[in-house]
Structure 1
Amino acid sequence: MPAEPWNTFHAGDNLDVLPRLAPGSVDLVYTDPPYNTGNDFAYADRFRDHAAWTAMMRPRLVAVREVLAPHGAIFVSIDDNEAAHLRLLMDEVFGEANFLAQIVVNLNPKGRQLGRGFATSHEYVLAYARHLPSCVVEGSSTEAVDEGDFPLTAPDGRRFRYLPLRNTNKKFNPITAPTLHFELYGDPVSGRVATTPFDGSRALTPVFGDGRPAVWRWSRPKVDEQPDDLECRVIRGRTGERADIFQRDWLEREGGRRKKLRTIWLAEEIGSTDTAVAELKALVGHVFESPKPTGLVRRILSTVPSDAVVLDPFAGSGTTGHAVALANVADGGSRRCISINSTEPTRVGSNAHLAGLATVADITRARLSAVAAQVGGGLEEPLGG
């Protein structure tokens, strides 16, 4: 077991537990709060209207903000019933300027067939920084990189693709970026590129496809630093053949290649409600109606450093703690997760109640105990919750 357990569990109301955590001690929050559906398994009939749900959430989000580090961020799952109200509430508590993304999560690919209207197949994750200029969240991931995007192979076996050195965004031109409009010298026979003339070279300036002046993406000093990553080639443009300069963009880069994550996350990428139920069932049985898949949380974990302290104030079935343990095993990280869940009784007759899990906290504890036994990392439960 690591020196510090990967998972810590507090049983109790999060409004009581959160003030006991050190201010600024958490790097990342992911949580899946009770939805205002009127029939949620653990919180049935608690919220009669949007105002009551918002009144429940506001002080809890304020308390979460207090324990979140300046460089941290919060990700909250929500469905259509409260997505608009949660967005306004997050703007209020965390500030509109700290909005990161509203992600569409495809958790039910087949769509819900019950009821009227459309077959809803998605929920949302709202993401906000504690303080955007300081935020460590990187909205990219190694898993988003497609090797098929790098079809070429260098003599040394490295995969790459060609990218125009010219900036293709017309917002960047000799008027808006004058220092990036200059002559480079290239030889389309040898492929060599330099900032000064050499035998066989020709002077080349960046132009758009229609012939209008453009700018390079690299400065002169960067070209001098990395000339071997550039190549002069002959291409066929609108006006016939011409020489142009391209960057060899390598699949494998120092520090690892990352690609921006899109804001639509598909079930085949991060799992679905069905796979989440199967994950939980394999550990402790089918004792929670709508758990989130660990793949969803692991994707969020991939946007922050591997030593992050993670908090889930509405821990539910314990998906977040499970995902943290799986991520640590996968990459050798030292993430730690603090999970909080209430001691509210489980509904009489529910699978959880029939399994002997008398409270919602018992479900979380059972899963995290099973994770510690099967995955590793240990579990700590402080006295007094």
Structure 2
Amino acid sequence: MGVWNTFVEGDNLEVMAGLEPGSFDLVCSDPPYNTGSLFSYVDDFRGPDGGRAGRHQAWVDFMRPRLEAVRELLAPSGAVFLSIDDNEQARLRLLMDEVFGEQNFLAQVVVNLNAKGRQLGSGFATNHEYLLVYARDARACVLDARTPDTVDPDDFPQTADDGRAFRHLPLRNTNKKFNPVSTPTMHFPLWGDPVSGRVASEPFDGGQEITPVFGDGRPAVWRWSRPLVDARPDDLVCREIRGKHGPRVDVFQRDWLEAPGGRRKKLRTIWLAEEVGSTDTAVAELKSVVGHVFESPKPTGLARRILRTMPADARVLDPFAGSGTTGHAVALLNVEDGGSRTCLSINVAEPVRPGSNAALAGLATVADITRARLRAVAEQVGGGLEER
């Protein structure tokens, strides 16, 4: 088994220039939010006039070449997730459209990292940030935006004789875009018996002929082909229902909670703290490995949800590694599911604030924090650490 985590200290633009194009499947990172604090890259981050407009433009100028480098490093099937807050969200979205192309935009996710909201200052109690998600090439991207985490067993209220939970789904296609005109091969008769529940593609004693119709009686189509009906008759049931024009019989699919290969559900675009963790849980995670040495780390639960959208052998890059959450999450998830993900974390030697917890702990730079965390993760979780 190879080393899971690698850490490189340096300016990410310089480091990325020395990496092989197309060598990463996923970029997961938390770039600077441009809140006006000091910044330790070579770029003039504050802008020529020091004002708000100049600072915004300087931030865009700082990010553009780094995003272009990220794009070059992504495999055609890869994707990028970038965290951002309201301060630069609009500019980052436009910049990502420019660098990656609008056609490769996948999602803008709202992440609820502070359930109570920030109480300092005036105005609203902000309790969210964003994740911007783009593909290198949406046509080739292997990102799977489904997860078992959001499957609710209460959505499957029926129980079979063998104890398996299921729900009834109409076999007819409820999307009116699909109809006998658009998909004529999916409009054909079935036979069903509402007493026994039996469904078949050929007539049988006690069976009634059933053709798919919408609720208003207009012709519809089935979701399953005739061969699939023949192959899975035990997953279908005939029932009598109350239609718009009185009782009628219809065909339903038994949709099992424990589906083959594991049931997964599409991720929503609002991720709650109870699902992915919060800033508070992230601080506690970091404290458990190296101490309270970073003001606002990201929770590993957030990074693990992102990692699960890609294959279990994904090559991951975090060019703004910060406290090292991404690398930590890679190790945790590899242990959890037996994956072989690898992560390259990059961080510049940005000085920590004098008198801060990190400084008091002997960690002079943010890179020192990244390194210390990934070393501790290698010791506690496994997977090793290579330092360059």
TM range (shorter): over 0.9
Which residue identity lines up with residue 365 of structure 1 in the other structure? R
Partners of 2:134 and 2:343 in 1: how far apart?
19
Partners of 2:234 and 2:179 in 1: how far apart?
25
Q: Deviations over 1:174-202 (max 9, x none)?
A: 22222222111111122111111111111
Identity %: 74
Partners of 1:286 and 1:332 in 2: how far apart?
30
Which residue of the partner structure matches residue 84 of structure 1? 90
Identify the match of residue 370 of structure 1 among 369, 376, 381.
Answer: 376
Which residue identity lines up with residue 36 of structure 1 in the other structure? N
Matched-pair contact (CA < 8 Å) for 1:42–1:346: no
Gaps of 5+ in 2: none
Which residue identity lines up with residue 175 of structure 1 in the other structure? V
Matches within 5 A, 1:154-193: 154-193=160-199
Matched-pair contact (CA < 8 Å) for 1:41–1:347: no
- Count, aligned residues: 379
TM-score, normalised relative to structure 1: 0.95
- The answer to whether residue 159 in structure 2 is matched with residue 153 in structure 1 is yes
Which residue of the partner structure matches residue 258 of structure 1? 264
Partners of 1:60 and 1:46 in 2: how far apart?
13
Q: Deviations over 1:298-322 (max 9, x none)?
A: 0011111111111100000000000
Q: Taking structure 1 as reference, are residues 292 and 40 closer, same or farther at Cα in structure 2, changes over 3 Å only?
A: farther
Identify the match of residue 271 of structure 1 among 266, 277, 282.
Answer: 277
Which residue of the partner structure matches residue 37 of structure 2? 39
Identify the match of residue 28 of structure 1 among 26, 29, 44.
Answer: 26
Partner SS for 2:139? helix
Which residue of the partner structure matches residue 103 of structure 2? 97
Partner SS for 1:144? coil
Deviation at 1:204, TM superposition (A): 0.4
Which residue of the partner structure matches residue 109 of structure 1? 115
Identify the match of residue 68 of structure 1 among 63, 67, 74.
Answer: 74
Partners of 1:341 and 1:227 in 2: how far apart?
57
Which residue of the partner structure matches residue 15 of structure 1? 13
Deviation at 1:144, TM superposition (A): 1.6
Partners of 1:357 and 1:294 in 2: how far apart?
22
- The answer to whether residue 386 in structure 2 is matched with residue 380 in structure 1 is yes
Q: Taking structure 1 as reference, are residues 325 and 366 closer, same or farther at Cα in structure 2, changes over 3 Å only?
A: same
Deviation at 1:349, TM superposition (A): 2.0
Partners of 1:27 and 1:20 in 2: how far apart?
17
**Which stretches of structure 1, 4 residues or more, deviate above 6 A after TM superposition?**
40-43
Q: Deviations over 1:201-226 (max 9, x none)?
A: 11101111222221111121221222
Matched-pair contact (CA < 8 Å) for 2:109–2:270: yes
Which residue of the partner structure matches residue 238 of structure 2? 232
Matches within 5 A, 1:344-363: 344-363=350-369
Partner SS for 1:143? coil
Partners of 2:188 and 2:121 in 1: how far apart?
63
Partner SS for 1:134? coil
Partner SS for 2:179? coil
Partner SS for 2:33? coil
Matched-pair contact (CA < 8 Å) for 1:151–1:160: yes
Identify the match of residue 56 of structure 2 among 47, 50, 54.
Answer: 50
Partners of 2:124 and 2:179 in 1: how far apart?
46
- The answer to whether residue 240 in structure 2 is matched with residue 242 in structure 1 is no
Partners of 1:339 and 1:278 in 2: how far apart?
21
Matched-pair contact (CA < 8 Å) for 2:238–2:251: yes
Partner SS for 1:69? strand
Q: Taking structure 1 as reference, are residues 63 and 41 closer, same or farther at Cα in structure 2, changes over 3 Å only?
A: closer
Matched-pair contact (CA < 8 Å) for 1:42–1:347: no
